[in-house]
Amino acid sequence: MWVFLPFLWLLSTAFKNQADAFALPPKLVFQPTLEAFRQLFSGPFAHATMNSVILTVTATGIALLLGVPAGYGLAIAKSRLTVGSGYLLLAAYVMPGIVYVIPMFIIFLNVGLVNTYVGIVLAYETFLLPLTAWLMRSYFLDVPPDLEAAALIDGCTRFQAFRKVILPTALPGITTVGLLAAIAAWGEYFATLIIGGSDTYNANVALAGLVSGYSSSFGQLTAGALFITVPILVVTLVAQRGLLRGLTAGAVKG
């Protein structure tokens, strides 16, 4: 119960006017208003939100397109090189972004990718691809090898077996990993701040820009935070259900 208090405070403050938002003690009874949302989306936050959608969808799609086959390769190959590559991907994911974002910025600046969608998406892939490949490896390890063997016996090539048998079987896992990658991309701040610019900043950077040393609109801040948080909460609940769902349910008949 107490865990939800910060969210309830955020929710109530987003619908207060400026005077009620700063009132001490906090007002529990007030007249709800959408003024904070109207002010928020009349400024650069609306464009930044569209940037967030574009970057999240593009980065997640590329991560799945490349990460799902990579995860399958890591799952079926048993050589030391493959195992080492898997742990290298894991290390790349857990490595702090500050280690590589500055060299990346210098490279992108020299090739003209700073303040572009392409540059930011490439920066996102430095952590989304390792995350996707490593998680998909775990899901593919749970797929019964007899499924692929049966497809190969029936005359399928390895690629056909992967596309027609393995992928449909692992679809719940792919969906879940896609949702987790989307959550990571939607909440990204640091890479966008360094690689992006005023034309490509996402909603998180734009929201931080509302805070200054002289003034801040408490209502707009909470409205923006609520707008960014609610999609993550919804997608997290969906992803949590996917994690509990059996990957191979119905694939092998008893």
Q: How far apart are CA 163 and CA 96, in angstroms?
A: 35
Q: What confidence score (pLDDT) does residue 215 get? A: 54
In-domain check, residue 159: yes
Q: Give me the DSSP letters along the chain.
A: -GGGHHHHHHHHHHTS-HHHHT-SSPPSS-----HHHHHHHTTTHHHHHHHHHHHHHHHHHHHHHHHHHHHHHHHH--SHHHHHHHHHHHHHHHS-THHHHHHHHHHHHHHT-TTSHHHHHHHHHHHHHHHHHHHHHHHHHTS-HHHHHHHHHTT--HHHHIIIIIHHHTHHHHHHHHHHHHHHHHT--HHHHHH--TTT--HHHHHHTT--SS---HHHHHHHHHHHHHHHHHHHHHHHHHHHS-TTTTTS--
Q: Which residues 6+ apart lie within 8 Å of 166 measured at CB?
A: 72, 140, 143, 147, 148
- As given in the structure block, the two tokens for residue 234 are 């919804």
In-domain check, residue 26: no
Q: What confidence score (pLDDT) does residue 212 get? A: 64
Number of domains in the chain: 1
The CATH code of the domain that includes 90 is 1.10.3720.10
Q: What confidence score (pLDDT) does residue 161 get? A: 86
Q: What confidence score (pLDDT) does residue 169 get? A: 86
**Domain housing 140:** 44-207+220-244
In-domain check, residue 234: yes
Q: What confidence score (pLDDT) does residue 66 get? A: 94
Q: How far apart are CA 123 and CA 106, in angstroms?
A: 12
In-domain check, residue 98: yes
Instruction: Report mean pLDDT in 10-residue bins for the chain, 254 residues.
Output: 74 79 74 85 91 96 94 82 74 78 90 94 92 87 82 83 86 87 91 91 89 67 87 77 46 41
In-domain check, residue 103: yes
* Chain position carrying tokens 């005359």: 155
Q: How far apart are CA 195 and CA 226, in angstroms?
A: 25
Q: What confidence score (pLDDT) does residue 242 get? A: 56
Q: What confidence score (pLDDT) does residue 109 get? A: 93
In-domain check, residue 252: no
In-domain check, residue 37: no
Q: What confidence score (pLDDT) does residue 142 get? A: 82
Q: What confidence score (pLDDT) does residue 253 get? A: 40
In-domain check, residue 35: no
